[in-house]
Amino acid sequence: MEFVHSFGFFTLLSLISPIDASDSWSYSGNTGPSYWVNSYATCGGSSQTPINLEGGEYDPNLGNITFTGYSAADSGTTYILENNGHTAKVGFQSSTSMSISDGGLSGTYKVLQFHAHWGRNGSGEGSEHYKDGKPYPAEIHIVHYRNSYADSTAAVDQPEGLAVLGIFLEQGSVENTKYSPFINALSNIPDSGQNFTMSGFALGDLLPSDTSKYFRYSGGLTTPPCYESIVWTVFNEPVSLSMTQMDALRTLNYEDGSTMQDNTRPLQNLNGRDITASWDGAHHVAVSFALILLVFVFHLF
């Protein structure tokens, strides 16, 4: 009863909250990304996401991120998996103890939800961020809100109100059993609006093995209303999923019954923003690649 009551309230909040406002936007046609700005002015802002991550300048202040409550299932919250018509999302309650801090963040950020973006089979595209000019087949976003705000609704449009971890997914030959609890539960939510309370699992299982190397920049939500409130962290090392696991994402449907895929916003302009990196080398790789290209071009003449 307690659960039913709080869930009903949660659903009501989703309906009136701007973060899930309506299905008036989509990823294609006349409600696709280029039209979002007509209904959501901030989507035309100058600090939008996603971007191509390239040439990150080393910032020694970007030390290791501290992950709290990430190493085991959190018994203080339920894990509610939802097909919200745009993605597969796992939401947590504010009673969760899962949070991140350090790593150049200016406070502690509590976990709110995570979700995925992915492409169509065989395209090799599907991530929102690019790295060195190339996409990955999929990307996970773990969304956190700053714990100095009363709740996520208060934080969502505030400067640095949110901190999101981006994880690139690549396709490998082996099943990634750390992702199995999430991937296997997707069969319960094929259609838009469906929910499923899944078993808890360690959120840290979603992270790459090396979390010390990451890019950092200021951006926003990649979906309407596109608030520019996010401290973005995107890990350099991708996580590998099997083809079968990738395909499981494409068993979901959009509201119109078509296959949920290519739920990605196109790249946005950097507009002079800094991209920094937690390790010394991200920049050098880009520079040496440019040098090699230059030498090659000269060689042609």
Q: Find the shortest distance in angstroms from Cβ 143 to Zn ion.
A: 8
Identify which of residues 120 and 284 has a Cβ nearer to Zn ion in the complex: 120
Identify which of residues 141 and 144 has a Cβ nearer to Zn ion in the complex: 141
Provide φ and ψ at 81, rounded to 5°: -90, 135
- The dihedral region occupied by 100, where left means phi > 0, alpha psi between -120 and 50, and beta the remainder, is beta
Q: Find the shortest distance in angstroms from Cβ 23 to Zn ion.
A: 17
Q: Which of 86, 129, 141, 144 is catalytic?
A: 86
Terminal C-alpha separation, the chain: 77
Identify which of residues 80 and 285 has a Cβ nearer to Zn ion in the complex: 80
Q: Find the shortest distance in angstroms from Cβ 117 to Zn ion.
A: 5
252 with 184: CB under 8 angstroms?
no
Please identify which residue in the block is written with the tokens 């709290």: 68
Select the residue whose beta carbon is closest to Zn ion and give its number.
141
Residue 86 touches Zn ion, criterion: CB under 5 A: no
Residues 262-301 that bind Zn ion (CB under 5 A): none
Query: Is 86 noted as a catalytic residue in this protein?
Result: yes
Q: Find the shortest distance in angstroms from Cβ 45 to Zn ion.
A: 17
Residues 131-150 that bind Zn ion (CB under 5 A): 141
Q: Find the shortest distance in angstroms from Cβ 166 to Zn ion.
A: 8
Provide φ and ψ at 231, rounded to 5°: -85, 110
Give the pairing of strands 88-91 and 65-68: unpaired
Identify which of residues 18 and 55 has a Cβ nearer to Zn ion in the complex: 18
Spatial distance between the Cα atoms of 110 and 161, rounded to a whole number of angstroms: 11
138 with 126: CB under 8 angstroms?
yes
Please identify which residue in the block is written with the tokens 């999923």: 241
Identify which of residues 27 and 70 has a Cβ nearer to Zn ion in the complex: 27
101 with 107: CB under 8 angstroms?
yes
Which spans of this chain sit near Zn ion (rule: CB under 5 A)?
141
Residues labelled as active-site residues: 86
